[in-house]
Amino acid sequence: MLLKTFGWSFAITAAGLALAGVLWGWQGLAIVAILSVLEISLSFDNAVINAGILRKMNPFWQKMFLTLGILIAVFGMRLVFPVVIVAITAKLGPIEAVKVAIQDHDRYEALVTSAHPAIAAFGGMFLLMIFLDFIFEDRDIKWLAWLEKPLAKLGKLDTLSVVVSLVVLIIAATTFATAVPVHDGEGTIDKASTVLLAGIGGLVTYLIVGGISGYFEERLEEDEDEDEGDEGAGGKSGAEAAKKGGGSVVGLAGKAAFFMFLYLEVIDASFSFDGVIGAFAITNDIFVMALGLGIGAMYIRSLTVFLVRKGTLDDYVYLEHGAHYAIGALAVILIASIKYEIPEVVTGLIGVVLIGLSFFSSVVRNRSEAEGGSDSGAKSEVASGV
């Protein structure tokens, strides 16, 4: 199971480290290894969130997540995306932006760093919406009941997540973004309008992609409930109904899975922002960066599939809670990083600690339930005279 799930990750790690050693020597190999560990530590909570969504998808789309999805994650987000950001913010042509990334590493780093406020605002708003929609929903299972119960009551107010996000964005744009330190450390620059527009872009992206995927998911669940009702009443099976109706159920499932796939990719993009920016503290070579972060992204993909196949989220019910709290912390860190430099170790440790605490709480819960079940079983045996 472990080798089957992580086999490609192990193989790509070996190939990637060997390539780094050949092209850049021992120093390049060490940098690639460090970047891989950095990406895994920063995105561990991403794997838990992805697993919660991926388990709803069929095997075909799970494979798409591991194949096409990894190409988008490695080449799209870790290689192409920073160049696109440079082209847009510096108003360069695509060819010139590529030349800067390859030939002028210092200028490339300065341009990407200059674009950080916009990147942080977009990703921060998207992740903040994920956290708020989770925390405002009334769930049967609650980890921190003292906090989640009152928030679930507040969540009955429609669009509360959007209102809170907009308030946070306005505060960030009028405080953090008005005096952003420049790359060389001399003076500041006003990025209020940039942060405001980028943050709204992240919010709108979440509403569109998340809304469409949620709509098709609800439609799919309704159709499945209707099919189960028909079967229970002696009606036609879901397969027969699909054939008669021209495969509408299958088409609906495809649409739901497709938009969930898009949603997953946007989530991964939002998580990758801090990794890409943080990598500049280690290297400004775009290819070294892409290779190191790409290896880390492979492990996050494999870990996601491992969690789905092992049913880990069902066994440890508080893991999703811990991951969403980590998302909320990451959103706050991204927004704060518009003005303040926050070490990557802080970002990584917060996620790991929160998920670790949620895992420990899940173990305690499972143990107490098992002891409760054995106690009730023993009492029933005594009562029955066994």
Check whether 216 has a pLDDT greater than 90: no
- Give the pLDDT band of residue 225 (cuts 50, 70, 90): low
The answer to whether residue 382 sits within a structural domain is: no
Strongest mean pLDDT among 8-12, 54-58, 72-76, 198-202: 198-202
Query: What is the percentage of the chain residues whose pLDDT exceeds 90?
Result: 12
Other Cβ atoms within 10 Å of 105 Cβ, number:
16
The secondary element (H helix, E strand) that includes residue 288 is helix 286-310
Check whether 34 has a pLDDT greater than 50: yes
- Burial-class residue 354 by CB neighbours within 10 Å (0-12, 13-18, 19+): buried
The answer to whether residue 236 sits within a structural domain is: no
**pLDDT at residue number 168:** 94
pLDDT digits (tens, 9 = 90+) for 247-282: 333 333 467 777 778 878 887 777 777 677 777 767
The answer to whether residue 237 sits within a structural domain is: no
Check whether 241 has a pLDDT greater than 50: no
- 283 contacts 31 by C-beta, under 8 angstroms: yes
The residue ranking higher by pLDDT, 2 or 248, is 2
- In 3-state terms the chain splits into helix, strand, coil percentages (rounded to 5) of 85, 0, 15
Which of 93-102, 167-176, 343-352, 357-366 shows the lowest mean pLDDT across its residues?
343-352
For residues 373 and 364, give the distance between their C-alpha atoms in angstroms, rounded to a whole number: 14
The answer to whether residue 379 sits within a structural domain is: no
Residue that has been written with the tokens 């303040």 in this structure: 340
For the question of whether the overall pTM of this predicted structure is more than 0.85, the answer is: no
pLDDT digits (tens, 9 = 90+) for 131-184: 999 999 888 888 988 999 999 988 888 889 999 999 999 999 999 888 777 765
The answer to whether residue 247 sits within a structural domain is: no
* For range 273-296, the mean pLDDT: 79
Strongest mean pLDDT among 39-48, 192-201, 223-232, 257-266: 192-201
- 132 contacts 164 by C-beta, under 8 angstroms: yes
pLDDT digits (tens, 9 = 90+) for 65-87: 777 877 887 777 777 877 887 78
**pLDDT at residue number 47:** 83
The residue ranking higher by pLDDT, 173 or 215, is 173
Check whether 242 has a pLDDT greater than 80: no
Q: Which of 24, 72, 75, 66 is nearest to 47 (CA)?
A: 66
The answer to whether residue 240 sits within a structural domain is: no
Which of 73-82, 252-261, 341-350, 355-364 shows the lowest mean pLDDT across its residues?
252-261
The residue ranking higher by pLDDT, 269 or 98, is 98
- Give the residue numbers spanning the domain of 38: 2-221+256-374
The answer to whether residue 243 sits within a structural domain is: no
* For range 302-327, the mean pLDDT: 85
How many folded domains does the chain comprise? 1
The answer to whether residue 246 sits within a structural domain is: no
For residues 26 and 58, give the distance between their C-alpha atoms in angstroms, rounded to a whole number: 42
For residues 77 and 274, give the distance between their C-alpha atoms in angstroms, rounded to a whole number: 12
**pLDDT at residue number 197:** 92
